[in-house]
Structure 1
Amino acid sequence: MLKGDYKKFYDEIKSTIEKSRLYTDEVRNLAYGTDAGFYRLTPKIVIRAKDEAEVQKAILLANKYNLPVTFRAAGTSLAGQAITDSILIFAGKNWTNYDVLNNGEAIRMQPGIVGARVNQILAPYGRKMGPDPASINSAMIGGIVMNNASGMNCGTHENSYKTILSARLIFADGTILDTGDTKSKEEFKKTHGDFIRQIEEMRDKVRANKKLAERIRFKYSIKNTTGLSINPFIDYTDPFQIIVNLMVGSEGTLAFMAELTMKSVDNPKFKASAMMYFPDIVNACEAVVTMKPGPVDAAELIDRIALRSVENESGIPAFVKDFPEGVTAVLVETMANNKKDLDNNINEIRSLLKDYKTVRPIEFTDKPEEYSKYWNIRKGVFPAVGGLREIGTTCIIEDVAFHIEDLPEATAKLQKLIADYGYKGGVIYGHALEGNFHFIFNQNFDKPEELEQYKNFMTAVDHLVVDEYDGSLKAEHGTGRNMAPFVEHEWGTEAYQLMKEVKNLFDPKNLLNPGVIINDDPECNIKHFKTLTPVHELVDMCIECGFCEVNCLTAGFSLSARQRTVLQREIKRLEITHEDDERLKELIKNFKYLGEETCAGDGLCATSCPLGIDTGKYIKYLRSLDMAGDKAQKYSKMAADNLYKIGPVIRGGLTFVNGVHTVMGTTLLGAVAGGFRTLSGNNIPLWTSSMPKGAKKPVPHPINKENPLKVVYFPSCISQTMGPAKGDPYKESLHKVTQKLLEKAGYEVIFPERMANLCCGTPWESKGLIKQANQKSSELEAALVKASENGKYPVLCDTSPCLYRMRNVMDKTLKLYEPVEFIHEFLMDKLNFKIVDEVVAIHSTCTTTKMGLTPILKEVAEACAKHVILPAEVGCCGFAGDRGFNFPEVNKYALRNLHPVIAKEKVVAGYSNSRTCEIGLSHNGGVPYQSIIYLVDRVTTPKAEKVNYKKKKAEKQMAAI
């Protein structure tokens, strides 16, 4: 319940921002308030803003009522800089607009674009953005810039500070300034002349203070994100450019960045990497120092403990497991614009290292499929180490930098310091070429002595880095709360006072992310720690990094995979402590819809989780608890046993409704059906114009036993019941077209026995009915084993999600194929393809993606159509079997970016490989989607005349006589 000024703020802001994007409930405030760091504060109000007008209004009202405001993009930050107990404003999913400028030389963008997406946009121009943090696949550009996150290649020469050109800002008083627009700057001079004057005075004062200016140059000669970025005062003269660069690394404490323009950097086409193994960490660091002047673009150190955390990952050689203690890897990358220069670089690096002893011979590879595995492993070290922690402990990552000449000695001391304080699993890894290391340790905060251990350790780290080597306590992860008490010690009083002057100028009321960077509480870093209560083995290893959210289709709508785990941990904690039973009831009640019912269970979260955690599996486990009652079990078993009776009823019902659709028309039937759904409290499934009619019953054809080309074809229960929709271009049932295509390629098609009662079990599994799901998959498995003569013939299933489950649970002797996979491997050499001059879209279902078949889907489509579009901003469609009928809002949100692409590219039709997904895609995309099999059948003809096997056999017998 909001009180006082928070209630006044809410009552005013709701006239500007719709209530569906304003949260004050316990569930979403806790969930949305959590970031990747190890602190937790729960906001009182969460706002998912959609544009700068809404942010401006929120800031003005916060200023009116003196309420603190914190801004958040992806929430992958690690230092406690994106949390608050006041007002939290999200600028993520709705903030993805961009413009490519000057043929890719620069890009203007909103803060919610994921870093990897920026590089995807720039790739056709041979460019990329400068910063390349390990979290690039999940972190958004707003957070990358505001934390001055750098990474493995950019160092200090291509980071956000060096590549930002201009920014559109909203100040604490609500004023908007676009530093890339002359008119905006002139207006700002008129309204904020004193502000500009003070910037210029600070600039002149710093430059006149030779000692301070030199101090600033020295501190920023290596990576440094400790405190506010005060180097603009010596690097730039123009006050507006100083303002822009003060934003970099400011962590939302100075202004809101609604848009930024960044220059891109060259992305050389030729790259090679080598994983080098040295006897110990000192040798490894010395080798890096030696390589520093050479043609090395990155050198990532991974110590023995870190290697152990990833030694079972794909791409890591088996011999790594046998390394003795101390062995340290350095992952080196070199780049060039041609093969000759790349080879010369490799030879020069080898020459530089000729006097160094390595545990294994140095081997470079220039094959992307090989070196990309190394780099993916490097990016996953932090979560992988966190995943090895003792359940319930907190994974803490720190981030320091030394001047390169100090690296070997300082690193050895750091390693010893970690061991001396009892952190046996402490890991050191990171950007050795820049003297920048991350170290990870797992900490429990349950007891006073453990808190004291952490406090003393951080003080010792401060002494080592600052007093002994004058390095950076924070190199690229931002200051946040966990290093705020040490900013003045690292920089000195004079520089720290300058930072406070800057903060006071931009934010005189201290309302923008207070407590971050500038904090007078010397113990702010040892308060408000997270609790990671064990819940279930499926999710207990989650460190809440947020890497899952880029592939979680409900992130920004209901809850993300990370947020579902956060809530379940709090529910479990409250069940144990009983400290607030009313709050517990509210969390359980509201989790039902936000956590369970709107989760698609697609498992794509696991594809970007470094630990492979599939939160969808956990949600299905929770659903299984809901379905454990005798009544649910009884009816689900009845349905499983009598599927052959249910199929004809569904077919008949769909055909009847399709007939009504034809008579009444789309508008009238839509209104009537929508009215019934509303009256039923949304218990009646959604009807749309994309609803299919009933499919025709499959009819087996006689099989020529002499033909060696045979395939077992299992039409899924979905394709056996659901035919084309009224507006679909192809009018035949999918199983009929598939059968025709296979026979066109010369195959004899074998259907499994009692096909009408067979199912892979996915519909039951998605509802948590695991027993019935396994029953159906076992029945299908037995039928397929028999039909394929114990795996002699390949088995084709026409629906990707069904095939995915079949592959996971069935006998491995069965050769199971998904549609595009079968077409690619078995049909393309047996058919003539005539490419049609059409623009078509393809959709890679979640299971197609998880099976790694998206490139094959694209290849097959490109063999059929001249222009093939795979919308970049569309992942899982969210239909999730029948959930798209019952929770269509999830499907709509998941596909919110589809129609703009369809309209812009003038797509005429879409193709995928799951009938229910195609219903949702058609409804939300604006063009009909059908199986890719239809397209392949339309554009192909047989390569050869059909063989008369009886005649051929007779001729063979005569020849033998």
Structure 2
Amino acid sequence: MSLPTAFLAAVERLIPRERRFDDPLSTLAFGTDASFYRLIPKLVVRVEAEDEVVQLLKLADAERVPVTFRAAGTSLSGQAISDSLLIVLGDHWNGREIRADGAQIRLQPGVIGAQANAVLAPFQRKIGPDPASINACKIGGIVANNASGMCCGTAHNSYHTLAGIRLVLADGSVLDTEDSASIAAFQASHGQLLEQLAELGRQTRANSELAAKIRHKYRLKNTTGLSLNALVDFFQPLDILSHLMVGSEGTLGFISAITYDTVPDHPHKASALLVFPDVDNCCRAVTVLKSQPVSAVELLDRRSLRSVENKAGMPEWVKALSSGACALLIESRAASQSLLHEQLEQIMHSIASFPLEKRVDFSEDPATYNQLWKIRKDTFPAVGAVRQTGTTVIIEDVTFPIEQLSEGVNRLLALFDQHGYDEAIIFGHALEGNLHFVFTQAFETPEQIARYSAFMDAVAQLVAVEFGGSLKAEHGTGRNMAPFVELEWGADAYKLMWQIKRLLDPHGILNPDVVLSEDPQIHLKHLKPLPAANEIIDKCIECGFCEPVCPSKGLTLSPRQRIVIWRDIQAKKRAGIDTTALQRDYQYQGLDTCAATGLCAQRCPVGINTGDLVRQLRADTAHHTGTANWLAEHFAASLKGARFSLMTVNGLHKLLGSALLEKTSTGLRRLSGNRLPQWTAAMPQAVQPIRFSPPTADQRPRVVYLAACVSRAMGPALSDREQMPLLDKTRALLEKAGFQVVFPENQDNLCCGQPFASKGYAEQANSKRQELIDALLKASRGGLDPVYCDTSPCTLRLLQDGLDERLKLHDPVKFIREHLLERLEFTPQDKPVAVHVTCSTQHLGEAQGLLDIVQRCAKQVVVPEGIHCCGFAGDKGFTTPELNAHSLRGLHSAVQNCEEGISTSRTCEIGLSHHAGIDYHGLVYLVDRVTRPRI
């Protein structure tokens, strides 16, 4: 059934075309969140202002159009999908305001949780909620789901740290509880609604049995149903309304801003891993630890430990643990080290009488405690990585009363065996009795769905009825647990929830079938297929953790969406459905605009690099093998051609001026169907070939200088205040530090192969890579001398797939860090410097090293927030400039107080300079400027 014509016409007048999506590819891409459900929206609207939300809700309410809101789409229970209108947050919901030296922070719903904590870090404060998805999920979702996490417990969730809220109700009315004028206007327009809420509160508090049940339920971690505790915790209707919004999952209104009371973020911490011989001892220890100064206690059953026992860095003894072993990962934090040590002694004394099978004592060493937490964090993806293709990974989230935790764990284990979920594991936030259990499930046949249904019925009966626990502790009710809300809460509380829903959303337009549903089978409908598509991506669980670092997200597709579409294309092909139109759209949306930098793999729980898929698909359509062969065999000639082209364009630049040449370039590019590259004032000048000088027999240590092909062709821009080419600047710095600089022979014909690999010509890429490795071995005297590569992407390319172990290859950061810091004396400059950490620098593990070096060079260092990849991607800044522009759309405002930017890739610096309005240079320029040789 389509959306009403009048509604669509009104939306067209309200929202620009570029922010409305109704084509099959886009609606399919947005039809997925992190849950195992799928609904295809009829219309997706990206909103950039509160007034747009207000107007959309007024239209939707008038035309009875169901509406769902989405922030990051990391919801696990189907809260963020719709088969009607899906409203997604755009770029302009990222506001934050720190108050009272960090004691409070006001946030818009588009702020990623980790970003909020980053701006609070200088005050040693953080927001209370700490969900595992905090690097991807946004404040809107955190509040709407009342998300918690490992350290949050029940005291520090959004409900209990809420200081103020700005919301939009289903009728489009706005209320800001921190604005007296807004409150007065709302009381005047919605006085009857507020009185009805107050009356519901009075009735609920007067019903002693119901009030007691509510208080009991919220002593546990609980996100099942609406937040009925608002009716017993507060008397004022505005307070009741504010707190009902927390955990409402978009079913009662839109959260436009929230103010949190923040919590301390103590700098000193230590972690330990204690393995008990059985579940009973482990859970009894939890009850003791509940009263101790611990910030987190994570339980891992033997199955979860088994799932990660073969991971790199895992202690060998994990494999030998007994079959009934159960572990606790314990963390304690304190404001001072002395207090921390007192706490650790107190904690260990409290559980000294418990038998232990193995232990890793408390450690403050970051390497040790990070490894311990990696054990915990790897459990969920470990199940996902080994699941059978076509199955999905389901993570459920229940709470048992802590005094019954041991029995609860054992009963869950028995249910796994009873229903044949042999791969299922249990872990969780033990202090709250909050357990996550992970299992794999296919939904391809009625029998598989029936098995899942029977299992969930058994879980609901066990947790909610027998133990009086919570079926959802922190993942939200969604449509997953909506049919079981009444079972858990009882008829009176369930009726009360529906009263609240109908009072605030009388026409039922807000996220129907989420939290509350009249369909007892809703959790078994709209199940998401995960068909086999390609072995690179078949393990994807569509969680969305990858999306914040993707430069094309918001322009075209994110990595998650690329996978969703490719899966659908392959499934349709197998079903004999014509995919011509879908594949045509996918060419640009999925392939042409993918930077293929692989940052998504760093965020992916199962390590998927969507760029690998894109390169493989590009290879399938790479039909210019003859040209690729010629370029590989005549690389020096092609480099000369590149220099000649740059010289020609630079001559035109001098003749026509920047404005006219850019306008001409834009017109020619348009006439060519976007095949000609886009010229900008940041375009480099040509570089003269390296003046090769043979090594001399002196006492200086030697370094082999590998100048990347871009460094050999592209010099500074005409307008750049630095006019010395990178290779000359680098050689000067190395010689200043006392090195003799040696170049490989026939250097102009050498290439790491990256230009060929990115276009899908793997054979030519590998051939050039091997040719370069051979030349470097010869130049370095068989690996005796270190090799300095002046461009981090080339360094990464050589190190990937294994490098000859004799070669000691360094990117600029590593070489400066390991060889120049001790040879140079630094005098930091006063002028602030912007830093762009390239994707390759991140992959090489040198991001912090780069920042440390720049902080030696400048007293003020600016790292623009939210820019993880510049999107230039080799040559895409020329051929697909909209990708570079989209990725760097926030750069100019972030670096406006800087005069210079620093990076480690010449091509990245072209796009960065253009969009920042300041010159970006290689790291060596800054290091050379502020250093002198040590005497």
Residue 881 of structure 2 corresponds to residue 892 of structure 1? no
Among 827, 830, 840, the alignment partner of 2:823 is 830
Gaps of 5+ in 2: none
- Distance (whole Å) between structure 1 residues aligned to residue 2 and residue 846 of structure 2: 55
Among 598, 619, 627, the alignment partner of 1:635 is 627
- Distance (whole Å) between structure 1 residues aligned to residue 613 and residue 194 of structure 2: 54
Among 349, 353, 356, the alignment partner of 1:355 is 353
What's the offset of the Cα at 1:151? 0.8
**1:549 touches 1:605 (CA, 8 Å); kept in 2?**
yes
One-letter identity of the residue aligned with 1:934? Y
**1:309 touches 1:388 (CA, 8 Å); kept in 2?**
no
What's the offset of the Cα at 1:327? 1.8
- Distance (whole Å) between structure 2 residues aligned to residue 594 and residue 851 of structure 1: 28
What's the offset of the Cα at 1:7? 4.2
**2:694 touches 2:742 (CA, 8 Å); kept in 1?**
no
Where does residue 902 of structure 1 map in the other structure?
895
- Distance (whole Å) between structure 2 residues aligned to residue 282 and residue 523 of structure 1: 36
Among 935, 941, 944, the alignment partner of 2:926 is 935
- The SS at the match of 1:424 is coil
Residue 645 of structure 2 corresponds to residue 621 of structure 1? no
**2:737 touches 2:820 (CA, 8 Å); kept in 1?**
yes
What's the offset of the Cα at 1:375? 2.4
One-letter identity of the residue aligned with 2:593? T
- Distance (whole Å) between structure 2 residues aligned to residue 831 and residue 298 of structure 1: 44
Alignment of 1:54-133 (within 5 A): 54-91=52-89, 93-133=91-131
- Distance (whole Å) between structure 1 residues aligned to residue 608 and residue 299 of structure 2: 26
One-letter identity of the residue aligned with 1:437? L
**2:556 touches 2:590 (CA, 8 Å); kept in 1?**
yes
- The SS at the match of 1:837 is coil
Q: Closer, same or farther in 2 for the Cα pair 1:380/1:144, shift >3 Å?
A: farther
What's the offset of the Cα at 1:140? 1.0
Among 724, 730, 737, the alignment partner of 2:722 is 730
- Distance (whole Å) between structure 2 residues aligned to residue 561 and residue 62 of structure 1: 31
- Distance (whole Å) between structure 2 residues aligned to residue 417 and residue 233 of structure 1: 36
One-letter identity of the residue aligned with 2:587? K
What per-residue deviation string (whole Å, max 9, x for no partner) do you get for residues 564-618 of structure 1?
111111111111112x42xx22221111111001000000001111211111111
What's the offset of the Cα at 1:552? 1.5
Where does residue 957 of structure 1 map in the other structure?
none
What's the offset of the Cα at 1:357? 1.1
- Distance (whole Å) between structure 2 residues aligned to residue 554 and residue 310 of structure 1: 33
- Distance (whole Å) between structure 2 residues aligned to residue 148 and residue 92 of structure 1: 22
One-letter identity of the residue aligned with 2:904? N
**2:300 touches 2:326 (CA, 8 Å); kept in 1?**
yes
Where does residue 765 of structure 1 map in the other structure?
757
Where does residue 911 of structure 1 map in the other structure?
902
What's the offset of the Cα at 1:155? 0.7
**2:549 touches 2:867 (CA, 8 Å); kept in 1?**
no
- Distance (whole Å) between structure 1 residues aligned to residue 43 and residue 187 of structure 2: 34
Percent identity, aligned pairs only? 47
Where does residue 710 of structure 2 map in the other structure?
718
Of stretches 249-258 and 929-938 in structure 1, the one that deviates more from structure 2 is 929-938
Where does residue 655 of structure 2 map in the other structure?
663
- Distance (whole Å) between structure 2 residues aligned to residue 640 and residue 14 of structure 1: 51
- The SS at the match of 1:363 is strand
**1:135 touches 1:379 (CA, 8 Å); kept in 2?**
no
- Distance (whole Å) between structure 1 residues aligned to residue 229 and residue 417 of structure 2: 36
What per-residue deviation string (whole Å, max 9, x for no partner) do you get for residues 508-539 of structure 1?
00000000011011111111111111111111
Where does residue 947 of structure 1 map in the other structure?
none
What's the offset of the Cα at 1:362? 4.6
Where does residue 959 of structure 1 map in the other structure?
none
- Distance (whole Å) between structure 2 residues aligned to residue 542 and residue 324 of structure 1: 32
Where does residue 278 of structure 1 map in the other structure?
276
Alignment of 1:300-379 (within 5 A): 300-379=298-377
What per-residue deviation string (whole Å, max 9, x for no partner) do you get for residues 138-175 of structure 1?
11111111101111111111111101111111111111
Where does residue 286 of structure 2 map in the other structure?
288
What's the offset of the Cα at 1:677? 1.1
Alignment of 1:477-492 (within 5 A): 477-492=475-490
**1:910 touches 1:928 (CA, 8 Å); kept in 2?**
yes
Where does residue 582 of structure 2 map in the other structure?
587
**1:92 touches 1:140 (CA, 8 Å); kept in 2?**
no
- Distance (whole Å) between structure 1 residues aligned to residue 115 and residue 374 of structure 2: 17
What's the offset of the Cα at 1:6? 4.2
- Distance (whole Å) between structure 2 residues aligned to residue 634 and residue 536 of structure 1: 28
**1:282 touches 1:411 (CA, 8 Å); kept in 2?**
no
- The SS at the match of 2:356 is coil
One-letter identity of the residue aligned with 2:819? F
**1:92 touches 1:111 (CA, 8 Å); kept in 2?**
no
User: How large is the Cα RMSD of the aligned pairs?
Assistant: 1.3
**1:396 touches 1:443 (CA, 8 Å); kept in 2?**
yes
What per-residue deviation string (whole Å, max 9, x for no partner) do you get for residues 710-739 of structure 1?
001011000000000011121011111111
- TM-score, normalisation: structure 1: 0.96
Structure 1 ranges of 4+ moved more than 4 A:
none
- Distance (whole Å) between structure 2 residues aligned to residue 571 and residue 94 of structure 1: 33
One-letter identity of the residue aligned with 1:9? F
What's the offset of the Cα at 1:361? 3.3
**2:826 touches 2:857 (CA, 8 Å); kept in 1?**
yes
One-letter identity of the residue aligned with 2:730? T
**2:3 touches 2:84 (CA, 8 Å); kept in 1?**
no
Where does residue 14 of structure 2 map in the other structure?
16
- The SS at the match of 2:494 is helix
What per-residue deviation string (whole Å, max 9, x for no partner) do you get for residues 653-706 of structure 1?
212211221222111111111111111121111110000110121112343223
What per-residue deviation string (whole Å, max 9, x for no partner) do you get for residues 377-419 of structure 1?
4234223222221111111111110111111112111111111
Of stretches 517-526 and 300-309 in structure 1, the one that deviates more from structure 2 is 300-309
- Distance (whole Å) between structure 1 residues aligned to residue 69 and residue 669 of structure 2: 38
What's the offset of the Cα at 1:708? 4.4
- The SS at the match of 1:547 is coil
Residue 681 of structure 2 corresponds to residue 689 of structure 1? yes
What's the offset of the Cα at 1:309? 2.2
- Distance (whole Å) between structure 2 residues aligned to residue 237 and residue 367 of structure 1: 48
What per-residue deviation string (whole Å, max 9, x for no partner) do you get for residues 65-110 of structure 1?
2110000111111111111111111125432111111110011111
- Distance (whole Å) between structure 2 residues aligned to residue 470 and residue 381 of structure 1: 27
Where does residue 876 of structure 1 map in the other structure?
869
- Distance (whole Å) between structure 2 residues aligned to residue 267 and residue 475 of structure 1: 24
What's the offset of the Cα at 1:315? 4.7
- Distance (whole Å) between structure 1 residues aligned to residue 546 and residue 877 of structure 2: 22
What per-residue deviation string (whole Å, max 9, x for no partner) do you get for residues 526-560 of structure 1?
11111111111111111111111122222222111
One-letter identity of the residue aligned with 1:814? L
- The SS at the match of 1:516 is coil
What's the offset of the Cα at 1:10? 2.7
- The SS at the match of 2:830 is strand
Among 783, 787, 797, the alignment partner of 1:795 is 787
Where does residue 751 of structure 1 map in the other structure?
743
- Distance (whole Å) between structure 2 residues aligned to residue 195 and residue 383 of structure 1: 46
What per-residue deviation string (whole Å, max 9, x for no partner) do you get for residues 611-663 of structure 1?
11111111101101011x3xx11111111111101111211221221122122
What's the offset of the Cα at 1:376? 3.8
- The SS at the match of 1:294 is coil
What's the offset of the Cα at 1:833? 2.2
Alignment of 1:385-404 (within 5 A): 385-404=383-402
Among 561, 564, 578, the alignment partner of 1:563 is 561
What per-residue deviation string (whole Å, max 9, x for no partner) do you get for residues 420-464 of structure 1?
111001111101110000111111122222211111111111111
Residue 260 of structure 2 corresponds to residue 269 of structure 1? no
Gaps of 5+ in 1: 945-961
Where does residue 951 of structure 1 map in the other structure?
none
Where does residue 647 of structure 1 map in the other structure?
639
What's the offset of the Cα at 1:321? 2.2
Q: Closer, same or farther in 2 for the Cα pair 1:234/1:315, shift >3 Å?
A: farther
Residue 915 of structure 2 corresponds to residue 924 of structure 1? yes
Q: Closer, same or farther in 2 for the Cα pair 1:377/1:687, shift >3 Å?
A: farther
Where does residue 532 of structure 1 map in the other structure?
530
